[in-house]
Amino acid sequence: MAISNEELVEKAVVTADALASAGKLNPAQSDRFIDFVVDETVLKDNARVVRFRNETLEIDKIGIGKRAAVPKAEATDPGVRRGLSTSKITLQPSEIMVPFEIGDTFREINIEGDSVEDHIISMFAKQLANDLEELYITGDKLGPAALEADLIDGGSATGYVKDSYLALQDGWQKLANGANIVDAQGQNIGLGVFSKMIRQMPTKFRRNKGQLRWFLSPDLWQLYMEKLSTRATSLGDSAAGGGSHGPFGIQAVPVPLWEFEPPVVEHVQLTGTTAVALRNSNVKNVVVTPSTLAGTPTTPFVEGAGNDYVLDAAAGTIARDAAGAIGSGETVKVTYSSPPQIMLTHMNNFVVGIGRDIRIEKDRDIFKGVNQYAITSKVAVEYEELTAIVKARNIGTGV
């Protein structure tokens, strides 16, 4: 009976007894571990995964770009030659670690006995896969503000810190801000939004619809299917029965870790009391902190006239209040939940770099009575072709 990839990884890599002697996985183990991390996420069939060992990774791009054909006259050299257009994508990897401990008492009294150690290591490896996908999607080098309690056990429930993990890389949602943008301006999810996105896609990238994909949150996709199901047509009946309907013949990929209202962080300079427009309208859960926010829990600025700042959530604008603690000309960090977003691009336009120098190291703290583990790797994220992306934002959620 054939062994599954997950079983192979769990038995050959993610076990206490199979750790490499120096902690570093051998090439075969590294490849199996990377396969496992990829297979646990939506990346399996929708991203180009590049494995590397260097500190930086460059991917060559080759294209033609301009018209290649010229008029041909009898027995005459056309006098021109067409060349290739070449460029490179540079991935700058960030190092990440998953540190954890397994206590002796827990290992002895749990129902699985000694095998629980292997099971826990496998669980952390699966969680690493989820954490990486979160970074790939919502990473932002500005570093969003987060309650310390949401990041670490026992952290402050009122003080905000910079999410240093999501600050490691700019993820696909942030990178797509430089692509082709459709501002839905509150238009509800429906065929009209999808049509605008297709029209915004450069013609040369939409010739093969079989290679295009809609990427969106599962909840937004469910909302769209709900709208379809209300139609008194065969399409509505099919949607109500769970059928899959890719708008305009393009397959949809609901991404589990793609949030319905994606988090956004911006650094905004507030001068005088002039309102400044944020990137999105109809914003929610707004938190304003100093742009220098780091690891020390900090009380956020207070909204409202006579306090620190004035927010128009519907319009997506923010202004300094002269009576508050924000100085004129000061740059603040604004973290908020934005309206839903959709991405249209070619499958495998997402690029993920995962370093082969993976370590799963084990140590022993005899005083605490615990086995200590650390899974360490390097990762990077990019797009292969930014101009082949259309991002729709500020999408309404009415039915």
The pair of three-digit structure tokens given for residue 68, joined into one six-digit string: 């290649």
Q: Give the list of residues 6+ apart from residue 146 with CB closer than 8 angstroms, or none.
A: 160, 161, 162, 163, 335
Per-residue pLDDT of 347-366, as tens digits, reads: 888 888 887 677 777 788 88
Tens digit of pLDDT for each residue in 81-114? 655 455 677 778 888 888 877 777 766 666 555 5
Q: Write down all domains in the chain, each with its CATH number in brackets.
A: 5-57+91-169+350-383 (3.30.2400.20), 263-337 (no CATH)
The highest-confidence range among 101-110, 117-126, 186-195, by mean pLDDT, is 186-195
What DSSP character marks residue 369? T
- What is the rounded average pLDDT of the residues 8-20? 41
Residue 32: HSE in the Cβ half-sphere, 13 Å Cα cutoff: 19
For 252-309, the pLDDT digits (tens) are: 999 989 999 999 999 999 999 999 999 999 999 999 999 999 999 999 999 999 999 9
Q: What's the CA gap between 384 and 61, in Å, rounded?
A: 8
Q: With DSSP H G I counted as helix, E B as strand and the rest as coil, what are the percentages for the chain, rounded to 5?
A: 25, 30, 40
Greater pLDDT, 213 or 53: 213
> Which residue in 380, 138, 82 sits closest to 255, CA to CA?
138
What is the model's pLDDT at position 233?
59
Under the banding of pLDDT at 50, 70 and 90, the label for residue 73 is confident
When mean pLDDT is compared across 10-24, 163-177, 235-249, 381-395, the lowest value belongs to 10-24
Beta pairing class for 47-52 and 350-355:
parallel
As a whole number, the mean pLDDT across the chain is: 82
Please tell me the predicted confidence (pLDDT) of residue 108: 67
The overall pTM is greater than 0.95: no
**Max Cα distance, the chain (Å):** 89
What crossing angle do the helices spanning 5-12 and 27-39 adopt, rounded to 10°? 130
Answer for the pair 102, 370: CB distance below 8 angstroms, yes or no: yes
- Report the alpha-carbon distance of residue 75 to residue 190 in Å, rounded: 56
Q: What is the DSSP letter of 43?
A: G
Please compute, for residue 8, the number of CA atoms within 13 A of its CA located in the half-sphere on the CB side: 16
Distances (CA, A) of 60 to 89, 94, 384: 7, 21, 9
389 contacts 196 by C-beta, under 8 angstroms:
no
Backbone φ and ψ for 310, nearest 5 degrees, come out as: -115, 130
For residues 157 and 149, the answer to whether their CB atoms sit within 8 Å is yes
Chain centroid to CA 354: how far?
15
Q: Which are the contacts of 104, defined by CB distance < 8 A and separation ≥ 6? A: 369, 370, 371
